[in-house]
Structure 1
Amino acid sequence: MRLLCGLLLLLCLVVWAAEARKGGKGRRMRGRDRSSTVKRFAADCKESTVNGEKFFDCQDRHLTAVLLGWPEDIHHLLLARNRIKVLRDNTFSQFRNLRSLDLQQNEISRIEEGTFNGLSRLTTLLLQHNRLHVASEGMLIPMPQLKYLRLHDNPWRCDCELDSLVRFIQVPSNRNVGNYARCAEPREFSGRQLKKLDAELLCSPQTDELILHPDNQPLPAPQKKSDATSLCHTYVHPVPRLDCRKRDLKTVPADIPLDIVRLDLSRNSIKQLRPKEFVSVKDLKLLNLSGNSLESIDTAAFTGLLYLGELDLSNNSLRYFQYGVLEDLYFLRKLSLKDNPWICDYNIHYLIYWLKHHPGVSYTGLVCSEPEEFRGWPVENYVKTYNAECPKDKQLSQLSGTNPADNAPQEFTAEIDEEELGPIPYRAPKKFEIIRLT
């Protein structure tokens, strides 16, 4: 009996030891899985260096939070187009050198007051296109160098909880903070810009009964306006870029940020370019206007774009350029012109003339659409044909007695009768030359 009990006890000890080893192994495996997951997510992000500053690009990664294992010496953190909903205290405290933080196009609905602790060097914070109803000035205190704060396209609830933030935005020195952000509720403030709202009314318990100042009268639901900040998406990496694709724009949007280097206005419904449309965007190097309905471009439309290097005008309704349209584009290197109904007549000559005198510009798609006899011809070939059809010099053929079809340069001399000459000092037979230039 004792032997049987001993055997049973030994068997239990063996089973227990096996389970313990299995459990420990499972825990170690789970630990390795977690570690590899962090590394995998970290590896998906792209680290790069531009002009000595480190960028960490984690855009479009389906992230719901900031992960462990990211480099801490980065200067720019890009987290746009993820699924982050809440920003917790000290989320970014390890990134002490951070200068810009891009959190636009997430699902952020709440920011805790200590979220940005440690970001004493941050100058740019992008929070547009999220779901924020309320925020306070307290969250901005850890960022004394903050100069650019974008808050538009959030459903702001303009009541007493937003009072401190509104007052901070309206400080005169904060001219690039909170521009274009608007109230979504309550009804009496709907559509009103936070920058222009009377902050004294936010904490009033009888808001509905107040006789409002004309600048604070209730507005109808905000209408969609063609301003770049509210309609388009702004990116800072690798260069400042404004994406206005497929926004159903009828005109070039107003208030394009001054530091934009690349501007994409493709696939809209813009029919004409008016004078000085881009005069404020002096650093623009790439402009994409393809896929619009462009029919005409004013001669001063591109005024000020001295550094533009690439211009895409493909897939529009352009027939010719007015004289002078391209005169300001001194550094243009690439011009896309395909899929436009170019008309091959005298009006097209300016474009060919300009391209001839700017051999460094590569261009594509310049093909005749009309008239029928030139359809499908390269425009430059049409222009050569046009210039070859010089009228025959009938006077030359009569004076020289040569075949009118002879294209060789010819010279001859003739004498003028004395009766046709002037006063005596000039009455001497003189010879003149007629040279035919083909």
Structure 2
Amino acid sequence: MARVQVVRWTWAVLVGLCALATCEVQQQCPSRTEMSPCSCTMKKNGLDILCEFTDQQHIIDAMSVLKRKSLIIFYLKLRHNNLRKLPGFVFLGLDIRHLTIHNSSLSVVEESSLSSIGKMLTQLDVSQNSLTTVPSAAYKNLHQLLILNMNHNKISSLHSKAFQGLDTLEILTLYENKITSIDSDAFVGLEKKLKRLNLGGNGLTEIPQKALAPLDMLKKLELQENRIFQISEGDFAGLKNLDSLGLAHNKLKEVPSRVFSHLTLLNSLEIDGNNIDTIHPDAFAGLEENLQYLRLGDNNIHTIPTDALKRLHRLRHLDLRSNNISHISDDAFVGYGDSITFLNLQKNDIKSLTGMTFENLNSLETLNLQNNKLLHVPEEVMENVLDTLRVIDLMDNPLICDCDLQWYRNWIKGLKDKDDEMMQKKRTVCMYPQEHREYSLQSLPLEKMNCVIKSYDSLNNNGKSAKIEIMAPITISFLAWSIRFF
């Protein structure tokens, strides 16, 4: 009985091995001569087929070779071809998971072109072609599609139900088309799964609110590089799960009251590269609990919008580069500075810093003040943040060498590893007027300047750097003389 069981087990193993061997044979690439001018390589999950710099007939011939074999084509990449029209049933009998038709002058996709691979296809890339409209009829049977890339085409509008049938789609990118209008029903059918939508680089002049409202599963919305000149309360109603919103490089001049109030889960907001000069005190109402990343750079802001920012008590990353800020008030960061780790103020018009400027920034790790008009950066300004700072950029300021700058040298000595390497590469200099020459902030001529030399090597009881003052020679001599006199 035991012998019979052993025989049966051995036979089962042999059958299994045979099946695996057959599978291996089936997954082998066709010969080069069969596939030419296309090529085939083996991937872990299936074949990788590449057809480049050829025409429609050669592609059809290559597909015919593949149809004669039971193969899983994990990647089919048709790039840089002359393929103005994708013929019907061209992929009939093939199992394709990822299809790329890139930079091939494609302008027509027949209704039956993709229907036969609708149960297998998960990614479709038709970027850099000549499509003028969404080929909805060809897409309607792609019921397993997760990613659709239509970047860099010539689509001018999104018609009603343009993507109907793509009920599993999670990522849709339409960057750099010519879209100026979007029908209110354009995204019907995408409500259940769509998580990322890229409409950047088009010609939109307003937020397509009615079209976007049903997309309540959307996590990331990209509307950068359009011509949107105004946003108002209600524009983002319905997008209750949105985590990231990109409005950079539009034509906005102001951020009005409560415009983002529906986006209570928003974590990242990019409105840099506009012409914003007015931010209402209630502009960020609704974002109190989750907003951590705010980009306001490359605008026309003249002062830090403290009243609007005060409610953002979880803000970590604040970018105000390339504005017209000339002064930072003592209370600029009061009420919301505790959580900020990254502050970018480069390329502004800041001429001076007062002692209380950074007092509330208890978590600050990176401070960028590059390319301003600072002559002095006193120690009293920096002492509240030196314990947490890992990066300070003071390059391209007209700094004057003075004793107050020695904090920089002592601070940089305490850095380690990558932070130290990064800071050592920065050429941060000041001008010593008496010699009309520049000195690195790490090599200040402290003796020449008759400075009281300070060391920060030890820690005080509060865990902060304790200053140990060492008098310059002239000061020590004066002290000795004073003692003898008395």
TM-score calculated relative to the size of structure 1:
0.49
More helix by share: 1
TM-score calculated relative to the size of structure 2:
0.45
Larger radius of gyration between Structure 1 and Structure 2: 1
